[in-house]
A = this chain, B = another copy of it.
Amino acid sequence: MAQRLNSKDASFSAAFDAFVLKDRDGGADVSAVVREVIAAMRAGGVDALKDYTQKFDGFALTENNLRVTAEEIDAAEATCDKDDLKALDFAAARIRTYHEKQIPSDVRYTDDQGVSLGWRWTCVDAAGLYAPGGRAAYPSSVLMNAIPAKVAGVNRLAMVTPAPKGEMNPLVLAAAKRAGIDEVYRIGGAQAVAALAYGAGPIKPVDVIVGPGNAYVAEAKRQVFGIVGIDSVAGPSEILVVSDGKTDPNWIAADLLSQAEHDPSSQSVLITDNAAFADKVEEAVREQLSDSPRREIAEAAWSNNSAIIIVSSLDEAPALVDKIAPEHLELAVDDPEALLNKVRHAGAIFLGRHAPEAIGDYVAGPDHVLPTARAARYASGLSVLDFMKRTSIIGCDEAAVAKLGPAAARLADAEGLPAHAKSVRVRLKG
């Protein structure tokens, strides 16, 4: 079962640090393989894409079946359960409303020296979206990746998703239609990322690539960063629950397992000041695991990567939370707002006993693409900002350059950049 740590133990600090810094990804170096795939794609284009798709997806890609047609998408949608589609629409509307509030503002002003200053936000021309395919095909992720791009105003949105043996998930295609995705291609892996970055056959290059994928996809995004923008390098999912012991242990166990069931590399952590409650949660986890259809995955994540941490007081929790910097943080306590004000590093924070993380995965509105593996120390979840960029604006008239110019020219001289100084001085009188 999960590792048990107690903050009273002399060994706690070392054991906790080791737990936090453990590499759950296995540390396999996929960079050489990915470099080879990207080089082959740059040299071979759509022919290389066909070879890799045959090899990895067991699917004979042609110019005709590379792109999923609007008719195919409509046909797939028609096979979907109507209530599933209604749930998708409910989610899409809520995601759109939340993301619309995050559209940034432009600013222009003239300062006391007469300099016109400000900035302006504009969206990228084209975005590429990676959606995992096959068994782990998530229509919710299609919404969570595409809607912020559309809200940002992106004109062209191209989705790639692998089709193992040609199979695609109908609800994924229905989600793509609802999210306003313009192009869908039956390709995946590092080769699909390369196709989006450099173009391949009918696939034109995009400006930004977002979306979760396996280790090869993540590494491919890292390697094409600079040619295109990327959102972040995503890893296995995580949840950290802080509980005072007054929430039903079955609820907390379900919350912990909701992330454990994603992947054997996932991580679930409980921090509580109540050891008896911890025992009850652990017992509930055991029970729920026993009849889980995804038992093998969840049990591996729970046993290999997870922990129950007993603290003397929940006052100890914020410092531990910030070191873990979890993707998802649940505050199942009486006064979650007080605790919210004391923690700093988390991708998303769920307040109270009635806010399970899965609400945020689907329908709350905020994005479910969130920083993993301690990246919440420095990174944010996906948002409209990932599809926009800010241009600085600087305007001077003769009077303004006269006021600012001398200091600029002096610094240019000090840095040994005479042409910089000259471009200012030619505009100064006398």
Contacts and interface: CB of A to CB of B under 8 A. Distances in A.
Contact of A251 (B97, B396, B416, B423): B423
Nearest to A366: B392
Contacts of A250: 426
B140 A424 contact: no
A221 to B, nearest CB: 10
Interface string A363-389: 111110011010111111101010001
A117 B248 contact: no
A344 B419 CA distance: 28
A54 interface: no
A391 B346 contact: yes
Contact of A422 (B254, B357, B415): B254
B367 A378 contact: no
A101 B109 CA distance: 11
A226 interface: yes
Given A371-B389, A378-B228, A359 B140 contact: no
B378 A124 contact: yes
Interface stretch (A86-94, A181-189, A274-282): A86-94
A421 interface: yes
Given A90-B407, A258-B417, A414-B84, A401 B251 contact: no
A350 interface: yes
Contacts of A120: 340
B140 A411 contact: yes
Contacts of A421: 358
A360 interface: yes
A355 B420 contact: no
A139 interface: yes
B418 A261 contact: yes
Contacts of A357: 423
A244 interface: no
Contacts of A140: 411, 415
Contacts of A115: 364-365
Nearest to A250: B426
Contacts of A180: none
A321 to B, nearest CB: 11
B254 A419 contact: yes
A133 to B, nearest CB: 13
A90 to B, nearest CB: 5
A298 to B, nearest CB: 6
Interface of A: 31, 35, 81, 83-84, 86-88, 90-91, 97-98, 101-102, 104, 107, 111, 115-117, 119-120, 122, 124-125, 135, 137-140, 171, 207-208, 222, 225-226, 228-229, 232-233, 248, 250-251, 254-255, 257-258, 260-262, 288, 292-294, 298, 336, 340, 344-352, 354-367, 370-371, 373, 375-381, 383, 385, 389-398, 400-401, 404-412, 414-424, 426-427
7 contacts: A84-B411, A104-B104, A120-B340, A139-B415, A229-B378, A354-B397, A358-B409
